[in-house]
Structures are given as C-alpha cells and as structure tokens.
Amino acid sequence: MKLQAIASLLFLLAGHGLPQAWHSNADPELAGQVQLEIVNTSLLSYSTSKVVLGLTLSISSRRDLTLEQIILSGLRINGLPVYAAPVKQRLELHSGVKTLLPDPLPVTVYLRDLDSVSPLIQAVSNGHTTLDGIAYATVRVNPLAAMLIFSRSVDIAISIHEDVLPFTVPGGQMARSAALLGLRTADKALHTISETVTSGKDWASGFRRDVMKQYAPHLMLACAHFELRDAQGNAIPLEWCGVALATAPDLLLVPREAIEPWKFDAEIADAIHSNHFSLNHSSYDLWLWPASATLKKSGELNSEAAMRLSKKQLSVVKMPDRDERKILALEDSGKTRKISVARRDSSSDLALLQVAKSAGAFGALQAVENSSTSEWGSVALFRFRDGMREGSAVPELIVMPAKKNGTRIELGELVDSSVFGSPIVAAEGVIGIVQDQNSGVTWDEAARVLKLLPFYK
C-alpha cells in the first residue's frame, strides 16, 4: 500500500537563489523521508447532490518532524473525480513510528461532475477500488534539519496509485444494500439533473434564473492549446480550458494560466526544466467562443465562431508581475534541480485581453466595489463543463456558499479546473474571480492589479 514519491522531494523556497553549497552537499537521506499510506476507503454519506467518501491515512517519517498540512490533488477513485479540502492538522511524527490520522479524510464526489455513478456502484459491490492522484505533505523539520535544507517548512510530493484499495461500507450488508439502492437511484436521476442544469427550465430559485440571464452574455469558453515534444521529436498536444469574462465592451479577463498554462503545472514545468520534454512555443494559441456558440463544424473546430490570439482578434494588454514559488526537486542521486511554478492562488494569476473592434462588443459588467459583506450563503459560479468535447459552448451554473478572507474569496465547495476564470456572483453583482479549486481573488483586488476601474464603472 505504500505510495512512491515522485520528484522525490519538493522544497518551497522563499524566492531567493539557491545557495551554491547546496549543489554539492545535498543530503540524499531527505529523499523519501516521509511515507504516506492509504489504509482504507469507506462510504461516509450520500445524497442527491454528492457522495462523501473517507480515506484512512497513515503517515510515517525517517526523522522527527511536524506535519502541518496534507493536500490531495487530482484525485480519481475508479476514474471518478473526487475533491478533498486541505487538511491543516498538526501532528508530531517520530522516526520510524507510523501515525494513523484519527479521523478519515473526507473526499467528495459531486454528482454535477458525473455522467454516471456506476464506478461507485462497482466499488461498493466489489469491496475495493482504484485510487490515483498526488498528495502534498507540508512538514516542519527540527532546527538541525532546517540548517541542512535552509527552510523550516518542506513540501513533499507523493504520487498516489492504488490498484486494489479496500472499500468498506460501515454497517454491514444491510448498509451496503441500502447504499447500492441509493446510488442506483442517483444514477437514474443524473440525466434529469443534467437537463435541468443546462436547459434552465427548472431553476431552484429566482437567483439562479436572474444570474444566468444577466451574466451568461459576458461569458466565453477559453481554450489554450500547446504542444510538448519528446527527445524523438514526437508532439504531445495539451490544452487548458476555463472561462473568460467580458468586463467592458472590448475587454476580457482570463486567468494568466490561459496565457502560460505550462507554468502552472508542476509536472509539466519539471518535465520542461529537466529537458525530458521541450515546449513548442509556436504551437500555442488561445481560442475563445461566446456562450452558446457552435464549437465544431463538420468534425473540426469552428474557427468562424471563435476569436483567436494567433489571428490578432485578441491581444494581451495587462498582466501583473508574475508570482512564482521556487521548488527544488531532489533526485534519488542526491542532485537537485530548481523549478519555478506560477501560483494559482495569487493576484498575479490574471490577464486582461483586448478584443479587436471587428470581433464584436459586450455590455458593461455589474461588479461590486468595496463590498462590506464577508460571507454569502449563495454565490454563483459558471463553467463550460465538457470544454470542447460537446458541440456547443453551453454554460453551466453552480451555487455554493463563500466567505471573504482578505483579498481572497474562499469557496464553500471544491470545483474543477473548468471553473477557473469564472466570475463569483453574489446577489449584488460580481464579487470575485475563481482561480483554483477552492478560492478566488476578490473583484477589488483584480480591478486594482489590472487597473480595471476606468472600464467597468
């Protein structure tokens, strides 16, 4: 069950250059100093909107240190996307001693993200499942170790891949039978849920209806395309898809990730830095389709309905100074390589685009200046869930609670990358922009760094 560390060890530096002595005196014992095991997966609860699973975690260390946080990213159970909030739990780890986290880590499967729950039904029936993803364990080392690695906090990246992970349903056979019945009922309801969400015929409230009517015309599906090449010159096409927001008649706001997607993914950045792959810069392009536009025509991308950066129908007019975290990857040999990865949860993850006059115009956006509200029971987010897999750019609306924390807005539920760039809409107007799976930047901060005030007033 033990998970293997990828890139061995990732160190979060403080934005300074790497001391030269580190290259020659790297401590090879740092590799694999923390081990993480997923002991079991269980079904905690289920409803008409989500299924909550529990992961039982065991963690151990080769030396004394303090665990500060665990983040699970890109998780899939039996191929289904699942989401886990960061676990900020302080645990003292002692050399060679396994520590079992006292409570299962809850991970959520949202039915809004699924076409079928049959993989979950299979897990319940078989009593086991598969699990893939990446775990990031943030640990605080003792003073002696800190002198060796020049930092008190260390991020350790651990690749997760389990082919046969136990899956239990507390309560025995009767509880298992009830869960199977509930999941099969949910599976039948998915088609109805999908029609309701996308057609807009049966909104749960006037808030949903009004938000869709007012803000859908400001939305565009944004898809960035680029290629990596391996040592043999073979091309590997990649894409990033999210949301673009019209903020003024000729201005669009997108995450900076839409402009430089390869800089926001640690694995891609590491592959490029280590020369295992190279970035084909000429392959990059950004395509934008307005909501309800036809995405494909005769099986090909519908260029007539899209605005393209390469066609000079768009231009980048403003991006804040880049905010990067410096990551040091330690190889098994003890050698190191330094990687720069752009931060999603930052005011710098924004870009302002200008639309050519011939490409059309948008109405003014209703945004909120200096909101005194700190918590919202319901905010609306948008996404184009299926990206370019579908024939048209149909926006989907998601409602959840949110709260403000400084210049950040923390979302009450986790979202996938198709929501990145979406406006965060409260009853009074746009209050922020989604940037990662659990937060976004406030509108005031976005307007400040992009100098938007003259445009949206």
Q: Cβ of 232: how many Cβ atoms within 10 Å?
A: 5
What mean pLDDT comes out for the span 304-321? Answer: 92
Q: Quick one: 209 exposed, middle or buried, by C-beta within 10 A (0-12, 13-18, 19+)?
A: middle
Q: Ramachandran region of residue 64, left (φ > 0), alpha (ψ -120 to 50) or beta?
A: beta
Q: Are 124 and 109 in contact (CB under 8 A)?
A: no
Q: What is the mean pLDDT of residues 429-437?
A: 95
**Which residue would you say has higher pLDDT here, 47 or 158?**
47
What is the mean pLDDT of the segment spanning 277-286? 94
What sign results for the dihedral spanned by CA atoms 59, 62, 65, 68? negative
Instruction: Give the domains, in start order, of the chain with CATH numbers.
Output: 9-174 (2.60.40.10), 208-213+366-456 (2.40.10.10), 217-322+343-359 (2.40.10)
Percent of the chain with pLDDT over 70: 80
Per-residue pLDDT at 364: 76
* Rounded Cα gap, residues 237 and 234, in angstroms: 10
Q: Within 10 Å of residue 159's Cβ, how many Cβ atoms?
A: 14
Asked whether 131 and 70 are in contact (CB, 8 A), the reply is no
Question: Is the pLDDT at 275 greater than 80, yes or no?
Answer: yes
Query: Does 441 score more than 60 pLDDT?
Result: yes
288/170: higher pLDDT? 288
**pLDDT at residue 61 is higher than 70:** yes
Which DSSP string do the residues of 384-432 spell out, in sequence order? -TTTTSSSB---EEEEEEEEEETTEEEESS---GGGTT-EEEETTEEEE
Other CB atoms closer than 10 Å to residue 68's CB: what's the count? 18
User: What sign for the dihedral angle of Cα 338, 276, 418, 444?
Assistant: positive
Handedness of CA 169, 175, 178, 182 (dihedral sign): negative
User: 77-111, pLDDT tens digit by residue?
Assistant: 998 888 888 888 788 888 888 888 888 889 999 88
Mean pLDDT to the nearest integer, 297-322: 89
Among 199-203, 315-319, 390-394, the least confident range: 199-203
Give the chain's mean pLDDT: 80
Residue 125 has pLDDT above 80, yes or no: yes
Tokens of 183: 């999941």
Could you tell me which of 4, 80, 81, 8 has the C-alpha nearest to residue 37?
4
Q: What is the mean pLDDT of residues 315-337?
A: 72
- Write down the pTM of the prediction: 0.78
pLDDT at 64 over 70: yes
pLDDT tops 60 at residue 221: yes
